[in-house]
């Protein structure tokens, strides 16, 4: 607590300072001024929390000093030191904003009582100011979020263009768009929507500072994407993007577009930027920067090679030969080598879809709807593992996919550890909104992923990945039924940072899109 004593009588001032420095008030930092003018100079450079001032002083008296404090130090509190004969002036001081007064000669008990009262008032002012600041920050953050939602709906063709609002958001013509992907450090949905929005605002502020622009948006439908609008040339954009990649962890890649003259071209330019990343990004690549001058790959070698193995794969699937199927998928097609051979992410995902299509055609008449849904969930989780660059989880999920469809009888019939499964279920219940995976849970409980997956399926009748997904979807349904949040917010709180993926999974598990389910709930109400 900082205290300023303004008193022109030297010994009176020193006596007050001495009393304040006693043991009970030892945490107070004290400044001294001989008059009001000197006090103002000190306060301008080093504001005090508490100002105790005499009334009658040369140059600037106590009344004028209190008026100045009231106008210029909103979080400070002033008090008066006065003699009995000054009481009319004390009244004037109180009317001008003084909180309390002490009569001369100053006694230690009276001084402590006055300072304690003023200190409590300072803390209340600071608390109110902090609350107002948080409220203002929250309102500003939410307004920014609403802008992000409107912009995201526009670029994803969910809302028609509004040129007035786009210009008011700082988008000027001509403009150049930069699509930047950032990997969130916070746990999705773990600490509520505010923590998510706070991180997004920090990322946006970083981009605004580096690119010197107000027009930066977060794509609420794809949680890793940020769009920057700038007037800079291509070379300067690459330099600035490299600068922020080097200065801050979490940024993954960027795509820089051509200069555009019309605001109506924003959605199509966004799609061009997105396609540039999709076609060119390699698995586990770091801080790659693409632009419109770079050609896309003419051919995806691994994707072409896969076609020749689909026929023998189909034959082995029909014969339920798990060992040979695994060899074709992992070795011949090469999914087990995606990291060391630096595959394009696009071709990995395309191959996954081809494998899924082949397996569905072979087994669609032979396996239950539950197993088919389970297989779909595992395929989706494989793609999510790729996006998280978790090779180990990707390969483990690939193995589980094969076992789910082939229904291998080669697995040993272990006595299932029910205690382990109950612990896993409790852990999932507490952490399902995070990016927990089969491998991370297995590691936590000191078992192999394959053992955990097999044990969980035999005990619960559903694989662990599907169990986690069901928990997320159930939580999302509860949020929708309450009707208090936007669907994009619900996706994040349920553990999905990509709304498009959330929409896909929600529809598979409920039969409705989130929007349709929301409409059904509103009709019921």
- Helix (DSSP H) and strand (DSSP E) numbers for the chain: 21, 10
Q: Where residue 486 sits, what CATH number does that domain have?
A: 1.10.10.60
pLDDT recorded at residue 161 = 55
pLDDT per residue as tens digits for the range 112-147 = 888 889 989 999 988 888 888 888 888 888 888 888
Q: Which domain holds residue 218?
A: 161-291
313 and 262 in one domain? Answer: no
Q: Considering the domain boundaries, does residue 143 fall inside one?
A: no
**Helix (H), strand (E) at residue 31:** strand 29-33
Q: Where residue 30 sits, what CATH number does that domain have?
A: 3.40.50.2300
Percent of the chain whose predicted confidence (pLDDT) is above 90: 26
Lowest pLDDT segment from 192-206, 277-291, 471-485: 192-206
Sheet holding 2-6, edge to edge: 29-33, 2-6, 50-54, 77-82, 100-103
Q: Which of 410, 430, 457 represents a domain boundary (last residue)?
A: 410
pLDDT recorded at residue 444 = 86
The 8-class DSSP code of residue 105 comes to S
449 and 395 in one domain? Answer: no
Q: Where residue 185 sits, what CATH number does that domain have?
A: 3.30.70.270
pLDDT value at 442 more than 70: yes
Percent of the chain whose predicted confidence (pLDDT) is above 70: 92
pLDDT recorded at residue 95 = 79
pLDDT value at 173 more than 80: yes
pLDDT value at 430 more than 70: yes
Sheet holding 225-230, edge to edge: 216-218, 225-230, 175-182, 251-260, 288-291
303 and 281 in one domain? Answer: no
pLDDT recorded at residue 378 = 81
pLDDT recorded at residue 196 = 80
pLDDT value at 242 more than 90: yes
pLDDT recorded at residue 243 = 92
Beta-carbon neighbour count of residue 347 at 10 Å?
22
Region 381-387: mean pLDDT is: 82
380 and 281 in one domain? Answer: no
Q: Considering the domain boundaries, does residue 502 fall inside one?
A: yes
Find all residues with CB under 8 Å of 51, minimum gap 6, and list them: 3, 4, 6, 39, 43, 65, 66, 69, 73, 76, 77, 78, 79
Q: Which of 243, 266, 291 represents a domain boundary (last residue)?
A: 291
423 and 401 in one domain? Answer: no
pLDDT recorded at residue 381 = 83
More confident residue, 25 or 147: 147
pLDDT recorded at residue 413 = 45
The terminus-to-terminus CA distance of the chain in angstroms comes to: 55
Q: Considering the domain boundaries, does residue 21 fall inside one?
A: yes
pLDDT value at 466 more than 80: yes
64 and 31 in one domain? Answer: yes
pLDDT value at 416 more than 60: no
Lowest pLDDT segment from 243-252, 414-423, 500-509: 414-423
Q: Considering the domain boundaries, does residue 135 fall inside one?
A: no
Question: How many domains does the chain fold into?
Answer: 4
What mean pLDDT is reported for the chain?
A: 85
Region 329-355: mean pLDDT is: 90
Region 310-330: mean pLDDT is: 89
How deeply is 440 buried, as exposed, middle or buried, from its count of CB atoms within 10 A (0-12, 13-18, 19+)?
middle
pLDDT per residue as tens digits for the range 43-89 = 998 889 999 998 888 898 889 999 999 989 888 999 888 876 667 77
How confident is residue 408, by pLDDT bands cut at 50, 70 and 90? Answer: very low
466 and 378 in one domain? Answer: no
Region 419-423: mean pLDDT is: 88
306 and 275 in one domain? Answer: no
pLDDT per residue as tens digits for the range 194-226 = 778 888 999 999 999 999 999 999 998 887 899
Distance CA 54, CA 502 (A): 67
Q: Considering the domain boundaries, does residue 237 fall inside one?
A: yes
pLDDT recorded at residue 186 = 55
pLDDT recorded at residue 254 = 95
How confident is residue 410, by pLDDT bands cut at 50, 70 and 90? Answer: very low
pLDDT recorded at residue 290 = 96
256 and 342 in one domain? Answer: no
pTM: 0.71
pLDDT recorded at residue 180 = 95
pLDDT recorded at residue 86 = 66
How confident is residue 41, by pLDDT bands cut at 50, 70 and 90? Answer: very high
Angle of CA points 181, 183, 186, to nearest 5° = 140
Choose from 151-165, 200-214, 387-401, 482-496 the range with maximum mean pLDDT. Answer: 200-214
Q: Considering the domain boundaries, does residue 136 fall inside one?
A: no
Question: Please, where are the H alpha helices in 156-287?
Answer: 163-168, 193-211, 234-247, 266-280
Q: Considering the domain boundaries, does residue 150 fall inside one?
A: no
From 199, 270, 191, 264, select the one nearest 228 (Cα to Cα).
Answer: 270
301 and 287 in one domain? Answer: no
276 and 185 in one domain? Answer: yes
- Cβ atoms 382, 409 nearer than 8 A: no
317 and 384 in one domain? Answer: yes
pLDDT recorded at residue 409 = 41
pLDDT recorded at residue 162 = 55
Q: Considering the domain boundaries, does residue 139 fall inside one?
A: no
pLDDT value at 461 more than 90: no
pLDDT recorded at residue 239 = 95
């Amino acid at each position: 607590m900082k205290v300023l004593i303004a008193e022109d009588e030297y010994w009176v001032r020193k006596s007050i300072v001495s009393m304040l420095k006693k043991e009970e008030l030892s945490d107070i930092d004290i400044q001294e001024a001989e008059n009001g003018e000197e006090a103002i100079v000190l306060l301008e450079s080093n504001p005090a929390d508490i100002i105790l001032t005499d009334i009658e002083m040369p140059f600037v008296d106590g009344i004028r000093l209190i008026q100045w404090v009231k106008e210029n130090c909103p979080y400070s509190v002033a008090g008066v030191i006065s003699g009995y004969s000054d009481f009319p002036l004390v009244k004037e001081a109180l009317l001008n904003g003084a909180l309390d007064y002490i009569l001369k000669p100053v006694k230690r008990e009276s001084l402590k009582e006055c300072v304690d009262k003023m200190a409590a008032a300072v803390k209340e002012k600071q608390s109110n100011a902090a609350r107002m600041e948080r409220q203002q920050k929250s309102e500003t953050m939410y307004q920014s979020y609403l802008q992000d939602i409107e912009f995201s709906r526009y670029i994803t063709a969910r809302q028609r263009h509004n040129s007035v609002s786009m210009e008011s958001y700082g988008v000027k013509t001509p403009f150049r768009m930069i699509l930047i992907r950032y990997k969130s450090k916070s746990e999705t949905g773990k600490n509520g929507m505010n923590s998510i929005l706070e991180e997004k605002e920090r990322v946006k502020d970083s981009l605004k500072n580096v690119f010197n622009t107000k027009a930066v948006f977060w794509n609420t439908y794809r949680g890793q994407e940020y769009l920057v609008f700038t007037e800079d040339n291509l070379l300067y954009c690459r330099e600035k993007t490299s600068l922020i990649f080097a200065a801050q962890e979490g940024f993954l890649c960027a795509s820089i577009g051509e200069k555009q003259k019309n605001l109506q071209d924003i959605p199509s330019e966004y799609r061009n930027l997105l396609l540039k990343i999709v076609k060119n990004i390699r698995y586990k690549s770091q801080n790659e920067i693409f632009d419109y001058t770079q050609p896309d790959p003419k051919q995806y070698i691994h994707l072409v090679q896969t076609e020749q193995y689909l026929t023998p794969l189909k034959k082995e699937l029909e014969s339920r030969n798990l060992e040979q199927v695994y060899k074709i998928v992992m070795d011949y097609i090469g999914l087990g080598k995606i990291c060391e051979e630096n595959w394009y992410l696009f071709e990995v995902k395309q191959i996954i879809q081809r494998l899924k299509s082949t397996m569905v055609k072979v087994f669609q008449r032979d396996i239950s709807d539950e197993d088919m849904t389970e297989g779909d969930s595992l395929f989706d989780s494989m793609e999510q593992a790729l996006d998280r660059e978790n090779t180990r989880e990707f390969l483990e999920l690939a193995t589980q996919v094969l076992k789910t469809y082939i229904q291998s009888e080669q697995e040993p019939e272990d006595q299932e550890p029910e205690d382990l499964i109950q612990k896993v279920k409790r852990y999932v219940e507490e952490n399902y909104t995070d990016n927990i995976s089969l491998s991370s849970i297995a590691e936590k409980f000191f078992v192999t992923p394959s053992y955990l997956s097999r044990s969980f399926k035999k005990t619960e009748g559903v694989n662990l990945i599907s169990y986690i997904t069901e928990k997320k979807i159930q939580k999302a349904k509860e949020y929708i039924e309450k009707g208090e949040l936007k669907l994009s917010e619900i996706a994040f709180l349920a553990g999905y940072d990509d709304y498009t993926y959330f929409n896909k999974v929600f529809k598979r598990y409920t039969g409705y899109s989130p929007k349709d389910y929301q409409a059904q709930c509103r009709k019921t109400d």
